Amino acid sequence: MTQSFDVSNSPHRRRNALNGDWVLVSPHRGKRPWLGQTEQPPVVETVSYDENCYLCPGNERMGGDFNPMYEATYAFTNDFAALRSDTTAAALEDELFTMQAESGLCKVICFSPDHSSTLAEMTVCQIQSVIDCWIAQSEEIGKQYPWVQVFENKGAIMGCSMPHPHSQIWAQDHPPTLVDREICEQTSYYQRHHRSLLLDYAHRELAQAERVVVENDDWLVVVPYWAAWPFETLLLPKFSVSRLVEINPMQKASLADILAQITIRYDNLFQCSFPYSMGWHSAPFDNAPHPEWQLHAHFYPPLLRSSSVRKFMVGYEMLAEAQRDITPEQAAAILKALSCTHYKHQLTANS
């Protein structure tokens, strides 16, 4: 007998309106037993200074340079950059073997001199200093390169090789592949409706409310309708803005608040220093208006059931399309229900 369709229990596909990809949602698989690989719980850094850390103030980096005795957010050019500004121009135009040289710049941004201080454990004022640095660096780098990518890899499980909390900026001559898809979808939507895709999407999410995790006057965080990772979120402005460098001081302060709220909830989910990759997508710095583009940030965390069980993008995901078990609505409800007070502070208060 054919069962009636239930979006919270029936397999279905959802289209990512931002890049055109599809994701297979299989909520009925959430109850299956797990006998696969488990991870070591994330290492919690407890010291404010580590003499062996390449990013702590005053220490020697792997490239041989010494960090200054910095007292706030600190940026420097990556000693082992993936992109270089002195790359010689070259190209190969062939139907099967196409290549183009790519020049660029890679920078590291230490959040603070404190070796143990992640975004989730920083004050809103300290987070605002990080945002100030992101903006200042993006504005300066954007004068030379059209694509500026601000991102953070948090935790060894996400390939982060330096435990000192930091983010990075990679800038280059051409928009990367995933960004190109977002450009196409946002441009197409704007040409059809003369409105921003993501601003319309934010308004729809606010109206439905079922995937909103947290919001304030200027920003909201949702588990997107098309989320691929179990607790993936999308940080969106409620106002029209295309680049991080364009937000005003009040919006910057409220952004620091929303970043604190979502990162605290992530840590509280499994009571660990929650790993993720996150990054900002601003409009290209190409001296052209971009009314179609809406500023946004992606959070891609890998943990699935606990601090030791992660989601693997393998097999079907690598050969076909992304797949998830828990629905975005279920994930949003779990994150929304969590306290906005960090679990370490709760434990201290209860001890």
Complete domains list, the chain, with CATH: 74-172 (3.30.428.10), 176-350 (3.30.428.10)
When pLDDT is averaged across residues 109-129 and rounded to a whole number, the result is 97
State the chain's mean pLDDT as an integer: 92
Residue 312: what pLDDT? 86
Cα(215)–Cα(31) distance, rounded to whole angstroms? 31
Cα(216)–Cα(224) distance, rounded to whole angstroms? 17
Picking from 18, 250, 280, 298, the residue whose alpha carbon sits closest to that of residue 168 is: 280
pLDDT by residue (tens digit) across 257-294?
999 999 999 999 999 999 999 999 999 999 999 999 99
What percentage of residues in the chain have a pLDDT greater than 90?
82
Cα(129)–Cα(180) distance, rounded to whole angstroms? 30
Q: Is 174 a catalytic residue?
A: no
Residue 350: what pLDDT? 67
Band the pLDDT of 149: cuts 50, 70, 90: very high
> Which of the residue ranges 30-34, 268-272, 306-310, 322-326 would you say has the lowest mean pLDDT?
30-34
296 is in an annotated binding site: yes
Global pTM reads 0.94
Cα(246)–Cα(240) distance, rounded to whole angstroms? 10
Q: Are 223 and 328 in contact (CB under 8 A)?
A: yes
Residue 43: what pLDDT? 61
> Which of the residue ranges 30-44, 222-236, 323-337 would you say has the lowest mean pLDDT?
30-44
Residue 45: what pLDDT? 67
Q: Are 336 and 214 in contact (CB under 8 A)?
A: yes
Q: Are 217 and 52 in contact (CB under 8 A)?
A: no
Q: Is the pLDDT of residue 30 over 80?
A: no
Cα 174 to its chain centre, rounded Å, is 20
Band the pLDDT of 254: cuts 50, 70, 90: very high
What percentage of residues in the chain have a pLDDT greater than 70?
93
Q: Is the pLDDT of residue 223 over 70?
A: yes
Cα(179)–Cα(183) distance, rounded to whole angstroms? 6
56 is in an annotated binding site: yes
115 is in an annotated binding site: yes
Q: Are 227 and 326 in contact (CB under 8 A)?
A: no
193 is in an annotated binding site: no
Q: Are 178 and 146 in contact (CB under 8 A)?
A: no
Q: Are 101 and 132 in contact (CB under 8 A)?
A: no
Q: Is the pLDDT of residue 326 over 60?
A: yes
Cα(61)–Cα(341) distance, rounded to whole angstroms? 35
Q: Is the pLDDT of residue 177 over 50?
A: yes
Query: How does DSSP classify residue 66?
Result: B
When pLDDT is averaged across residues 241-245 and rounded to a whole number, the result is 98
Residue 35: what pLDDT? 44
Band the pLDDT of 112: cuts 50, 70, 90: very high
Cα(107)–Cα(152) distance, rounded to whole angstroms? 12
Cα(106)–Cα(281) distance, rounded to whole angstroms? 16
Q: Is the pLDDT of residue 296 over 90?
A: yes
Residue 34: what pLDDT? 42
Cα(261)–Cα(242) distance, rounded to whole angstroms? 23
Strands 166-172 and 99-100: unpaired
106 is in an annotated binding site: no
Say which of 12, 28, 166, 193 is annotated catalytic.
166
Band the pLDDT of 44: cuts 50, 70, 90: low
Q: Is the pLDDT of residue 50 over 70?
A: yes
User: Around Cβ 144, how many Cβ atoms within 10 Å?
Assistant: 14
Residue 3: what pLDDT? 72
When pLDDT is averaged across residues 63-67 and rounded to a whole number, the result is 93
Q: Is the pLDDT of residue 111 over 60?
A: yes
Residue 169: what pLDDT? 98
When pLDDT is averaged across residues 336-347 and rounded to a whole number, the result is 90
38-63 burial code (b ≥16 CB/10 A, e <16)? ebeebeebeeeebeebbbbbeeebee
Residue 162: what pLDDT? 87
When pLDDT is averaged across residues 242-270 and rounded to a whole number, the result is 97
Q: Which neighbouring-strand residues pair with 24?
A: 13, 323
Residue 297: what pLDDT? 98
Cα(159)–Cα(183) distance, rounded to whole angstroms? 27
When pLDDT is averaged across residues 54-82 and rounded to a whole number, the result is 95
> Which of the residue ranges 34-48, 76-90, 109-123, 296-310 would you say has the lowest mean pLDDT?
34-48
Provide the token pair at 242: 């295309």
